[in-house]
Amino acid sequence: MKRCFCVISRFIYLSTERNKGASLVSNVRHDHTRAAAAKTLSDFRWEESKSSDSQKWSRLEHNGPYFAPEYDPLPASVPFYYDGQLLKLSPATEEIATFYAKMLDHEYTSKEAFQNNFFTDWREEMTSEERKQIKTLSKCDFSHMHKHFLEKSEERKNMTKEEKQVLKEESSRLVEQYGFCVLDGHREKIGNFKLEPPGLFRGRGEHPKMGKLKKRIQPEHVAINCSQDAKIPEAPAGHRWKRVQHDNTVTWLASWLENIHGRPKYIMLNPSSKLKGEKDWQKYETARQLKVCVNAIRKQYKRDWTSREMKSRQRGVAIYFIDKLALRAGNEKDEESADTVGCCSLRVEHISLHRRLDGLEHVVEFDFLGKDSIRYYNKVPVEKQVFKNLKLFIKHKDPEDDLFDRITTVNLNKALNECMPGLTAKVFRTFNASTTLQDQLNKLTAEDMTVEEKILSYNRANRAVAILCNHQRAAPKTFEKSMQLLQEKIQKKKEQIEEAKRELKAAKKAHRDAPSDRCRKLVEKKEKLVQRLCEQLKKLQLQETDREENKVIALGTSKLNYLDPRITVAWCKKHNVPIEKIYNKTQRDKFTWAIHMTDESFQF
DNA sequence: CACGAGACTTGCCTGGACGAAC
DNA sequence: GTTCGTCCAGGCAAGTCTCGTG
């Protein structure tokens, strides 16, 4: 498998290198396409790939991370008052105050947890003098700071073109210096070369740590990873790195521990890199592998529904949910984070069982907060045996008890792995998402459609996946307004059509009454106008449908993470839709591998 | 097996660039 | 020229899963 990808990756490099003849590129592609076609799924050796996969590179060199600029103290003209008294804060204290002052408009500064966390952490950073004086948050007056930053941002908006140009050049110099690394002889883009600046932590949902201080990262906190023979990046003057290591079994260039949860964070490559692309390709191949054995797995979990062992029954139902509803695995979480769940961590309170609902039998009603505190709400008719089992699982339990108390993500994944090497809960999401896209595209695309209609079909297929995976977004702030505008446009267009039709009729009549070349030409002209207007109307109406259906659905996540790009590429080729209409520049870069290795016959 | 550390993927939001409409 | 709206890259939080250790 590994070897197979090497062919592809060599091709990608070839094709992205300048001054290479097009004929060479197409030759490579041709060869590869055949090689890939000849390769069947059973040829993949997962065990083998596992050992060889552990080495991620042989040579790695980079310039280290870019540190956030030092704090620039406020001008003396921006006062801070405590309890009505002017107070000059020390730079460190002032800096943290500005984090809060910048957020005053946000709803969450009104939350008690946010205020308490912020104030506790702020006081910890104060000088003892300041700590003695500043005892109550509500007595702090940040309003002048707040105003100062509003003005600053206004200033920034009103910069001249030239000033903006200067900034732009500065930032591209930064990218030039820090934004790339050299991995195995190839210059690769780094994903996030800038270290996160200090600020206030705002978790998602009801996060118990909201408002806590995210501290400034110092070089002494940062570990550097590069190859032994590489030039070690220089630490900022007067500083040294936490450590420099040469571990080629990992892909990160730099890492540090964030202070909120004490979890590691990393600087890694951009998705367009070979390293990431290879991994991505592997992911989809695993998902395609599941396609081959999913029937057997389904049979197995259905058998488990009637197992004598409670654990097996629970696992059978859990995998059924993961498969049917594309739920996430649902690892255990600690108390120090928002209360969200996935499949294995579902609690009794998250489901309601309805013997009969809306004319359907055995309906399970799900209502819980999933990843990022996004609500999952769904009413699903299930097999009778699943229903029976669920009743059994919740018997004698309290609402806050685990629904699946005998299983964990670890043993669930272990069981899955025994069915198919490499299989874990999340593979089902990839598999179901990509399968859905393929099915929907096949169903929704017709040859006689215009390109616009085909794109609408694609978006609908994409949307079906997003709904399956529960990818949501906040409705755009301007949604209502822009929708209304669009409707007015449509109305206007309709009126134009009426008008044009009347004119056409009149022209026809004139031509009938007194045929002439001039009259005939006028009729033709009017006919064309009507036709053109109708086409425009259709386009607008398509746009309206698309936008309405998309109001709270986020398509990006599935497009980027769940849909095998080869499905899209093949579809575009087959139906003559330019790939640029579906993938923007970033997406094309990320999916370069797929764009080059896929021909129109590919099916997931 | 439980646990925690570590590595890597997935996820939503936002600020600013850019183009269209006024 | 200004305003408005859309799109996208970047930001960073929050998941999943693996591995080593006792």
Instruction: Give mean pLDDT, residues A155-181.
Output: 85
Which residues in range 198-237 of chain A are in contact with strand C, contact meaning CB within 7 A of any of its atoms?
Answer: 199, 201-205, 207, 214
The percentage of chain A sitting over the pLDDT mark of 70, rounded to a whole number, equals 91
Express each pLDDT in A226-250 by its tens digit: 999 999 999 999 999 999 999 999 9
Distance in Å from C10's C1' to A192's CA comes to 8
Band of pLDDT at residue A534, cut at 50, 70 and 90 = confident
| Window from A147-151, A267-271, A428-432, A537-541 with minimum mean pLDDT | A537-541
Nucleotide closest to residue A423 (CA–C1'):
C17
- The residue ranking higher by pLDDT, A501 or A281, is A281
Tokens at residue A455, please?
């794109």
CA separation for the pair A187, A181 (Å, rounded): 6
What is the rounded CA–CA span in Å between residue A476 and residue A473? Answer: 8
In Å, what is the separation between the CA of A87 and the C1' of C13? 35
Q: Could you give the residue ranges of the DSSP H alpha helices within A395-516?
A: 409-419, 425-444, 451-468, 479-513
Q: What is the pLDDT of residue A198?
A: 96
Provide DSSP, A22-35. Answer: HHHHHHHHHHHHHH
Q: Residue with CA nearest B21 C1'?
A: A485
Contact status, residue A115 vs residue A129, Cβ threshold 8 Å: no
Nucleic strand C within 7 A of Cβ A429: no
pLDDT category at A132 given cuts 50, 70, 90 is very high
Mean pLDDT along residues A353-360: 96
Whole-angstrom Cα distance, residue A4 to residue A43? 11
Q: Which of A119, A118, A121, A1 is nearest to A53 (CA)?
A: A1
| Interval A11-31: pLDDT, tens | 333 333 333 222 222 222 233
| Å between CA of A289 and C1' of C15 | 24
The bases of strand B with some atom under 7 A from any protein CB are 1-3, 5-14, 16-17
Whole-number percent of chain A with pLDDT over 90: 71
H or E stretch at A4: helix A2-16
Q: Is A225 helix (H, G, I), strand (E, B) or coil?
A: strand
For the annotated catalytic residues of A, the residue numbers are: 562
pLDDT greater than 90 at residue A140? yes
Q: Is a pLDDT exceeding 50 seen at residue A508?
A: yes
- When pLDDT is averaged across residues A70-97 and rounded to a whole number, the result is 95
- In whole angstroms, give the CA distance from residue A327 to residue A380: 13
- pLDDT category, A539, cuts 50, 70, 90? confident
Q: Which nucleotides of C are covered by protein (CB under 7 A)?
A: 5-19
User: Alpha-carbon distance A575 to A240, whole Å?
Assistant: 56
- Say if CB A368 and CB A346 are below 8 A apart: yes
- Which residues, including other chains, have CB under 8 Å from residue A224's CB and lie 6 or more apart? A64, A232, A233, A241, A243, A244, A245, A253, A254
Query: pLDDT class for A51, splitting at 50, 70, 90?
Result: very low
Lowest mean pLDDT among A20-24, A280-284, A285-289, A459-463: A20-24
Please report where in the chains the tokens 């947890």 appear, as a residue: A113
For B4, which residue's CA is nearest its C1'?
Answer: A263
- Using the structure, give the distance in angstroms from the CA atom of A91 to the C1' atom of B13, rounded to a whole number: 30
Per-residue pLDDT tens over the stretch A196-212: 999 999 999 999 999 99
- Higher-scoring residue by pLDDT: A165, A242: A242
Q: Reply yes or no on whether the pLDDT at A299 is more than 60.
A: yes
- pLDDT of A39 over the 80 cut: no
A37 CA, C20 C1': Å apart: 40
Distance A410 CA to C19 C1' (A): 13
Whether the CB of A543 is less than 7 Å away from nucleic strand C comes out as no
Confidence band for A37, pLDDT divided at 50, 70 and 90: very low
Query: Which residues sit close to strand B, CB under 7 Å?
Result: A 56, 153, 156-157, 164, 167-168, 247, 249-252, 255, 257, 262-264, 266, 268, 276, 279-280, 283, 328, 371-372, 374, 408, 410-411, 426, 429-430, 469-474, 554, 556-558, 561-562
Q: Is the pLDDT of residue A118 over 80?
A: yes
Mean pLDDT score across all residues of chain A: 87
Q: Which H helix or E strand runs over A364?
A: strand A360-369
Q: Is strand C less than 7 A from the beta carbon of A182?
A: no
Q: What is the pLDDT of residue A52?
A: 54
| Number of Cβ atoms within 10 Å of the Cβ of A165 | 11
Q: Which of A7-16, A305-314, A446-455, A547-556 has the lowest mean pLDDT?
A: A7-16
Please tell me the predicted confidence (pLDDT) of residue A53.
63
**pLDDT above 60: residue A32:** no
Contact call for residues A79 and A101 (beta carbons, < 8 A): no
For residue A106, what pLDDT is reported?
86
Our measurement of CA A472 to C1' C10, in angstroms, reads 20
